Amino acid sequence: MPQEFLKLLNRIGNDWVAPQSDSWIDVVAPADGSVIGQVADSGVEDVDLAVCAARDAFTEGSWSGLTAVQRADYLLKIADYLESHLSELTETIGRDTGSPARLATALQAYTPIIHIREFASMAPLLDTPVVHAVDGPVAPGSWRIEREPIGVVGAYVPYNFPLFEAVWKVAPALLAGNTIVVKPSPLTPTGVQELAKAAEAVGLPPGVINVIHGDVAAGKALAQNPGVDFITFTGSTAVAREIAASAAQNLTPVMAELGGKSPSVVLEDADLRMAIKGSLYSGLMNSGQACVATTRVLVPDHLYDEAVALATEYAEQLIVGDPSSEATDIGPVISRRQLEKIEQHVARAREQGAKVTTGGCRAVEVPSGGFYYKPTVVRDVTPDMDIAVKEVFGPVIAFLRYGTVDEAVEIANSTPYGLASAVWGGDVERAESVSARIEAGLKFINDVGGIDVTRTPLAGRKQSGIGAELGPDGLFAYTLPASTYLSHGEGRQSAAYVLVGSKWG
Cβ contact 22:30 at 8 Å = no
Taking the chain, what is the end-to-end CA distance rounded to the nearest angstrom? 86
Sheet holding 442-445, edge to edge: 355-358, 376-381, 396-402, 296-300, 263-266, 420-424, 442-445
Cα gap 36→98, rounded to integer Å: 12
Number of other CB atoms surrounding residue 455 within 10 Å: 11
User: Rounded to an integer, what distance in angstroms lies between the CA atom of residue 10 and that of residue 52?
Assistant: 14
CA distances from 294 to 24, 284, 379 (A): 36, 9, 15
Which stretches within 202-293 are classed as H helix? 216-224, 237-247, 272-284
Q: How far apart are CA 154 and CA 436, in angstroms?
A: 34
Q: Is 120 helix (H, G, I), strand (E, B) or coil?
A: helix
Is the distance from CB of 131 to CB of 481 less than 8 angstroms? Answer: no
3-state secondary structure of 296: strand
Q: What are phi and psi for residue 143, nearest 5 degrees? A: -105, 135
Judging by beta carbons within 10 Å of its beta carbon (0-12, 13-18, 19+), is residue 370 exposed, middle or buried?
buried
Chain-centre distance of CA 491, in angstroms? 53
Q: What amino acid occupies position 483?
A: S
Q: Provide the sign of the torsion angle of the four alpha carbons 69, 74, 75, 77, taken in this order.
A: positive
Contact indicator for 134, 140 with CB cutoff of 8 Å: yes
- Cα separation, 401 vs 300, whole angstroms: 6
Tell me which residue of 397, 372, 401, 423 sits closest to 311, measured CA to CA. Answer: 397
Q: How many Cα atoms are found within 13 Å in the side-chain-facing hemisphere of 100? A: 21
The 10 Å Cβ neighbour count of residue 280 is 23
Which candidate, 412, 402, 376, places its Cα nearest to that of 304? 402
| Cβ proximity of 400 and 388 under 8 Å | yes
Cα–Cα nearest to 161, from 344, 285, 18: 285
Catalytic residues: 257, 291
Radius of gyration of the chain (CA): 25
Give the separation between CA 165 and CA 325, rounded to whole angstroms: 24
